[in-house]
Chain A
Amino acid sequence: MKFPAYTTPREKLWHYSYRIFCGLVLFFLVAPLIVVIPLSFTNSVFLQFGPEMKFFSFETWSFNFDGYGTRWYKEMFGICSENSGTTVCTDRWMIGFKNSAIIAIFATFFASVLGTLAALGLSNRHMPFNRLIMALMISPMIVPLIITAAGMFFFFAKVNLVATLPGLIIAHTILGIPFVVITVSASLSGFDNNLLRAASSLGGTPLRNFFKIQAPLIAPGVIAGGLFAFITSFDEVVIVLFVGGPDQYTLPRQMWSGIRNEISPTILAAATLLVIFSIVLLSTLEWLRRRSEKIRGITPH
């Protein structure tokens, strides 16, 4: 960083302390996530950095990785060797992963379809009660989850949806709709309606116009909203606790009971995979954003 010649030392000091403060805040945001990764490779049963995890010794100047291994990853994948010892081998993590994936995929699909329909309808400014309906569509994101979960518990009990897969899919669809509505509305706000008019003046049917002209342009919005819906469903635990049955394991639920009851480093292995998963999702989203900017002719700065 080059300072202009007239900068006083006090200003320099202020500038550096400001930068350091910001660095600390960003560190505060990311550090906990990074700490999880090395600890997930521990060989011990404790969730802490014990002395055995020191991989570099200053006395002998040598590396020692004896404290590290993939024991907890094996446990998570349900691969159990006889001598792994202390903890009980369970395939709940894998079942949970499977259930979470099924629920999230279906919920994402329905949320994307319903959310896109809603956003398309709401983009018409002449629609009466436009604002009210918009507020209603976004409300599942705002209403405290515990209230949604409690309400659904009673309602689903009446209509026999408690402890069923469709019940959880419906609940997660509702949680996902607001994200799709928001992102699709945002991409529709930059949409030039003259394109549709031009298309129909050239003889296109409304349906054809939508799929040929509008859909490709709002696709990044739909996909981004879908990703949000997916990650919301994939990470949701409160509704599963209330509405799901006792043997309906999902990945977050398994983590929840892992944190509450049997604290073992398996949750760290799962957490590491989830961190990597979120990095992949984030990169996808960033790529989509750039792509949509390119399509619309807005150059990235």
Chain B
Amino acid sequence: MSDTSITNSQELLLTNDGVPLKVSLRKSLRRTKIRSFLLILPPLLFLLLMFVTPIGSLLSRSVDDIAINKVFPQTFAQYELWEDKSQLPSEEMFAAVVNDIRVTIKVKDDEGIDIGKNLLGRSGTRMTYEYSGWKSLISKTIKSALKVDKKSKEEVKPFIWEAPFKDKMIKRDKRWAKVEFWQSLGAMKDPYTMGYYLNAVDLKFDANKNIIQKEEYLKIYNTIWIRTLQVSLMVTIFCLLLAYPVAYLLATLPMKTSNLLMICVLMPFWTSLLVRIVAWMIMLQQNGVVNDTLMYILPCFEGMVNLPFFGATNIDLCFSDEDRLPMMYNFTGTIIVMTQVLLPFMILPIYSVMKGIPPSYMKAAQNLGATPTRAFIRVYMPQSVPGIGAGCILVFIVAIGYYITPELVGGKDGIMIGNFVAREMQRTLNWGLAAAMGAILLAAVLVLYWAYDRLIGLDNLKMG
């Protein structure tokens, strides 16, 4: 056997069946590939259908402006013809608005149900996002534009309003004479818009579709973006400061003790987030445990004292009821609770990296004359950097999209962008804006996720 393989080394190696080995290997490799692919297929399809598609369709809402373009096609066509945009538009544009309303009201859906009114109402809402006041203006105008002459004997009763419309509309509502309303149409005339994204970062389009800053009193979102970054950064830093020493302790203690202490780290990790929030409410509220304890242990001294140099002085060293610290429903509360919630995410990766650093390195460094501090900083710390990186990215990613904690303990000045996404979704129903904010947030998270995969590798993502 070995003889032939040496003499025939130029020829092909054959398997028992007489097939060349290379072909056979390739075939078996292809078979395992197909098998793996078939294994992956069900979860992959499930995830694509139920996770990727929903998020994709959410994101598509952030640029989608088709609905309003279907309702006001003539108006937007006239807008293109409107030359001097600092003057009121001509009669044709006023007529186009009325015509569009009269056409849209007849629209029926596939099952023959009237949806025209609904479409017009939603358009009014959409227009209000660009310039406040549109909604009431449109609904007022709809009523007048659709009023019919009931006394008429014709089968299709004629509308009361007849051309020319310009003066009638302005008489009905003076806002039609305000050129700002007409100008704001410019931001909506394309079926795809960047308007929601601009809105999400406090910018807007002017009449000529140039990007400009929003009015000062309308700026709200930039503060929230900055605060989101601020909270995430602060939480990451606090987590690192608290986690590093603990991880070092856990990594250097004998296994039995460190396993016991590990339970302290894993316990909160495994406890319901809502339970932890309730717990912190008890701890941090005005009459909470922390404030009670402070009142109990801080010295209370009040009264007249005869001091040298100062003479009789009234000293008030008391932590009394008025001094109770506000730590809940504000920025501080968000930071404290999020730090505790995310701390295990920082301890665990650092711990697992430190576990792999041989303690002999430190000893060697000290043998060579380094002080313990120097040995730690120059030898140990650089080796723990991968753990620090993993922990920081992980904590930052999770923190930046937080919703539950800020919503429940954040009060007014502790809420983050996730809360605004929810607010736009549920209360103001500005879904385009919610989608745009979500898209920016998602982009940030995905960039960090990619960086994590690149720097640390997803295989190192471990829990517990």
Contacts and interface: CB of A to CB of B under 8 A. Distances in A.
Interface of A: 11, 18-19, 21-22, 25-26, 28-33, 35-36, 39, 47-49, 114-115, 117-118, 120-124, 126-128, 131, 133-140, 142-148, 150-156, 170-171, 173-174, 177, 179, 182-183, 185-186, 189, 224, 228, 231, 234-235, 237-238, 242, 252, 255-256, 259-260, 267-268, 271, 274-275, 278-279, 281-282, 285, 300-301
Nearest to A283: B263
B47 A47 contact: no
21 contacts: A26-B261, A26-B264, A29-B265, A33-B268, A117-B43, A121-B39, A135-B453, A137-B43, A144-B445, A146-B401, A146-B418, A154-B58, A156-B54, A186-B462, A235-B273, A252-B272, A259-B277, A271-B274, A278-B271, A282-B263, A282-B267
A150 B58 contact: yes
Contact of B47 (A146, A156, A177, A238): A177
Contacts of B29: 126
B281 interface: yes
B33 A124 contact: yes
A28 to B, nearest CB: 6
Nearest to A34: B279
Nearest to B449: A142
A133 B44 CA distance: 8
Contacts of B207: none
B403 A182 contact: no
A183 B459 CA distance: 10
A299 B272 CA distance: 32
A136 B458 CA distance: 11
Contacts of B295: none
Contacts of A171: 50
B267 A137 contact: no
Interface in B249-283: 249, 255, 261, 263-268, 270-283
Given A152-B54, A238-B404, A274-B271, A29 B418 contact: no
A186 B457 CA distance: 13
A255 B42 CA distance: 35
A154 B245 contact: no
Interface residues of B, number: 87
A148 to B, nearest CB: 7
B41 to A, nearest CB: 8
Interface in B117-145: none
A237 to B, nearest CB: 7
Given A126-B32, A127-B33, A275 B271 contact: yes
B343 interface: yes
Q: Is the interface of A mostly helix, strand, loop or mixed?
A: helix
Contacts of B403: 144-146, 238
Contacts, number: 252
Given A22-B245, A255-B278, A117 B462 contact: no
Contact of B289 (A22, A35, A151, A153): A35
B346 to A, nearest CB: 11
A114 B263 CA distance: 30
Nearest to B48: A136
Given A30-B264, A114-B46, A117-B39, A154 B418 contact: no
User: Most B CB atoms within 10 A — which of A22, A134, A237?
Assistant: A22
B442 interface: yes
Contact of B445 (A121, A142, A255): A142
Interface of B: 29, 32-33, 35-40, 42-44, 46-47, 50-58, 61, 242-243, 245-246, 249, 255, 261, 263-268, 270-283, 285, 287-289, 292, 340, 343-344, 372, 397, 400-404, 408, 418, 421-422, 425, 431, 434-435, 438, 441-442, 445-446, 449, 453, 458-459, 461-464
B458 A115 contact: no
B272 A139 contact: no
Contacts of B274: 235, 237, 252, 255-256, 259, 271
B278 A121 contact: no
A297 to B, nearest CB: 18
Given A147-B55, A148-B51, A238-B404, A182 B463 contact: yes
Contact of B245 (A21, A36, A131, A142): A21
Contacts of B50: 152, 155, 170-171, 174
A185 B40 CA distance: 13
Contact of B282 (A36, A122, A155): A36
A182 B462 contact: yes
A32 B54 contact: no
B71 to A, nearest CB: 21
B463 A114 contact: no
A282 B266 contact: yes
Given A118-B40, A133-B44, A47 B281 contact: yes
A261 B287 CA distance: 19
Nearest to B276: A32
A278 B270 contact: yes
A133 B42 CA distance: 13
User: Most B CB atoms within 10 A — which of A123, A137, A234?
Assistant: A137
A114 B40 CA distance: 8
Given A33-B268, A274-B275, 8 more contacts: A137-B44, A142-B397, A150-B422, A150-B425, A152-B50, A153-B425, A155-B57, A259-B278
A22 B246 contact: yes
Contact of B449 (A18, A139, A170): A139
B58 A275 contact: no
Contacts of B434: 150
User: Most B CB atoms within 10 A — which of A144, A260, A282?
Assistant: A144
The 7 A-B pairs with the shortest beta carbon distances in the complex, nearest first, are: A144-B401, A32-B279, A121-B39, A155-B54, A121-B40, A151-B54, A151-B58
A29 B275 contact: no
A127 B31 CA distance: 11
A128 B43 CA distance: 16
Contact of A179 (B33, B273, B442, B463): B463
